Chains A and B, each alone.
Chain A
Amino acid sequence: MGGHTSTYVPTSRWGKWFDERLPIARMMHGQFVDFPTPRNLNYLWTFGGILTFCLVAQIITGVVLAMHYQPSASGAFNSIEHIRRDVNFGWLIRNMHAVGASMFFVACYVHIFRGLYYGSYKAPREVLWILGVIILLVMMATACMGYTLPWGQMTFWCVTVITNLCSALDTIWQGLGTAIVEWLWGGYAVSGVTLNRFFSLHYLLPFVLCGVVALHIWALHVAGQNNPTGLDIKQPSDSVPMHPYATSKDIVGLFAFLLLFAWFVFFLPDYLGHADNYNEANPLVTPPHIVPEWYFLPFYAILRAFTGSFLGIPLGSLAKLMGVLAMFGAILILAFVPWLDTSRVRSTKYRPIYKWFFWLFAFTCLALGYLGSKPAEGVYVTWAQIFTTYYFLHFLVVMPVVGLIETPTKLPRSISEAVLGKSKGGTAPSGAAPAAAE
């Protein structure tokens, strides 16, 4: 992988014997010990490791919860309370899993915005980036199905709304959408049958996720990591071995993240949930105001922005289909970013005009998140439509156009120059040998 040859030397006779038959220790050593890592990675680069931790933590706590959970319409709601009250340490493991889902998305969104800011999607990392978009989609599907399992009012109606998105296909071909929805439900409405199959898939998808994550890391180690300058590693002094330099930084980042994680687990386990979810699912009553979990809110706002008219343009009976297409399009458009961004420079650090648009885009996502939590009426709808418009304009217009018209600021000649220039008060001895990187 990545043209980097492992310097692994087996230290025992048994190690040598094994290495000749299955060189897994050689591969791990080459990829995760002496792998060349840019010497200027900042703390935003610790989120890859944090995300790996989150995935493993979700799988371990999830497997334990499945030992105590009952995936049936009559048992599900009570079994969650049974886990929280009766099972030894059930309160802890359940909180870790529920809070863990939110923390997983926190880390994931930081990771995505870091990639967008430093141009980590640009050649030769396009496949790496697209695998990341696939991971995001699988994560969302997993989270959505997992959210069904407590079988409360909010989860029941969120699932109803999300699965009903498919019925928008009826606009294209009468009956197609309804057939798909009934197939997903296994009935004519969301029921215990639906709960059972979602439980099965919720257990399956994390392992699919593991597979795609393995490909993501493989692709990362072919191209090598991007870094805050966006420059390639050109000389040995630009990089340091992954261990102990990057790994120790990863651990500091992970511990800081775990402080936040633990604070929620121990002090605010229900803060990110909804009170309505402590009512058992009732197919005859919809809660007055349904909202998904916070990490879906920006996409939910985009879905709801398409009412009868969009910024004065009448949509008529197409509104539903367009809302659904826009919501999925908002995620899928990320896959095209490597080709939508026309800039020659990777890192936004050296892009004086795009920098402003980047932060406007970040603000747009936060604003959509806020609007998604508000009822779909009055001024909220108008603002959601304005921000939805910018969300798509950012990708379809700003990225291609700004990349062409902008003159980037002067780039450092190498990663070493960028790092050493800063540490020596701006006077970079060009081509200086980095003695520190031994």
Chain B
Amino acid sequence: MTTEVDDTNRRDFIILAGNAFVAVGAASLIWPFIQQMNPDASTKALSTVELDLAPVKEGQAITAMWRGKPIFIRNRTKEEVDAANKVDVSNLPDPLARNDGLPANDPATDANRTKAGKENFLIMIGICTHLGCIPKGQAMGDSKGDFGGWFCPCHGSHYDTAGRIRKGPAPRNLEVPPYQFISDTKIKIG
């Protein structure tokens, strides 16, 4: 009797252990097949870009590329900076700064979306946070939306002069990439 119970327990254990090995084995075999689809080494290698902002005059905007994404750089006019500063941050749809160089909880003030002393330069990833279109507002004659910043024509998101979402379906402010001024006019993104 006891031997039989013993046998059953041993068999249960072997079946459980066997199944566990199969599960772990299957998972570790599947992992390379999933992981192969993530960004590869050559994609990750293109992680920093250096730019000279000296030719960008006040009121002008340029678009650079970083990691395959467009980077919006606008040398804002005094009026545009003032307009951005006047906004009450607590009333914004997204009150967070969305600045990769700052802690995640910092408020979306204009100062938190730019670098101290270089407030005229607004540098952002130019991808609408709704579904990834490139907003209009960089080129002369583009629609800049209801708030004088950028307007995404795909689904009608309006961003203000600090790149913050003000109206439309986009959930977040335009993201500020990690960057620093390496000289008075040069920046390094990434």
Which residues of A pack against B, CB within 8 Å? 157, 160-161, 163-165, 167, 170-171, 182-189, 191, 193, 197, 283-286, 288-290, 304, 306-308, 316-321, 323, 375-377, 381
Contact = CB atoms under 8 A, between A and B. Distances in A.
B134 A286 contact: yes
A164 B130 CA distance: 8
23 contacts: A160-B131, A160-B133, A161-B132, A161-B133, A182-B39, A186-B38, A186-B40, A187-B39, A188-B39, A188-B43, A189-B67, A193-B40, A283-B70, A284-B65, A286-B136, A286-B154, A308-B168, A308-B169, A317-B94, A318-B171, A319-B169, A320-B171, A376-B156
Nearest to A320: B171
Interface string B61-92: 00101011110000000000000000000000
A377 B168 CA distance: 10
A160 B134 CA distance: 10
A164 B132 contact: yes
Contacts of B130: 164, 320
Nearest to A282: B134
A307 B68 contact: no
Contacts of A164: 130-132
B155 interface: yes
Q: Chain A CB within 10 Å — which of B37, B167, B172 has the most?
A: B37
In this complex, the interface size class of chain B, counting residues with CB under 8 Å from chain A, is 20 to 34
A161 B94 contact: no
Contacts of A304: 155, 169
9 closest residue pairs by CB, A with B:
A164-B132, A189-B68, A164-B131, A188-B67, A161-B131, A286-B134, A286-B133, A317-B171, A319-B169
B59 interface: no
A171 B129 CA distance: 12
Nearest to A378: B156
Interface string B119-161: 0000000010011111110000000000000001111100000
A220 to B, nearest CB: 34
B contact face: mostly helix, strand, loop, or mixed: loop
B171 A193 contact: no
B37 A320 contact: no
B93 A307 contact: no
A contact face: mostly helix, strand, loop, or mixed: helix
B108 interface: no
A184 B36 CA distance: 11
Q: Chain B CB within 10 Å — which of A167, A304, A317, A377 has the most?
A: A317
B96 to A, nearest CB: 10
Contacts of B169: 304, 306-308, 319-320, 323
Nearest to A289: B153
Nearest to A323: B169
Given A184-B37, A187-B67, A187-B68, 17 more contacts: A161-B132, A164-B130, A165-B131, A186-B37, A186-B43, A187-B39, A188-B43, A188-B69, A191-B68, A283-B68, A286-B154, A317-B93, A317-B94, A317-B171, A320-B130, A320-B169, A376-B155
Interface in B150-190: 152-156, 167-172
A284 B70 contact: yes
A381 B154 CA distance: 13
Contacts of B68: 187-189, 191, 283
A170 B129 CA distance: 11
A285 B37 contact: no
A157 B154 CA distance: 10
A133 B132 CA distance: 28
Contacts of B34: 183
A77 B59 CA distance: 36
A197 B40 CA distance: 13
A349 to B, nearest CB: 41
B102 to A, nearest CB: 16
Contacts of B127: 189
Contacts of A161: 131-133, 154
Nearest to A181: B132
A283 B133 CA distance: 9
A198 to B, nearest CB: 11
Contacts of B65: 284
B39 A171 contact: no
A188 B94 CA distance: 23
Contacts of A171: 171
Interface in B25-57: 34, 37-40, 43
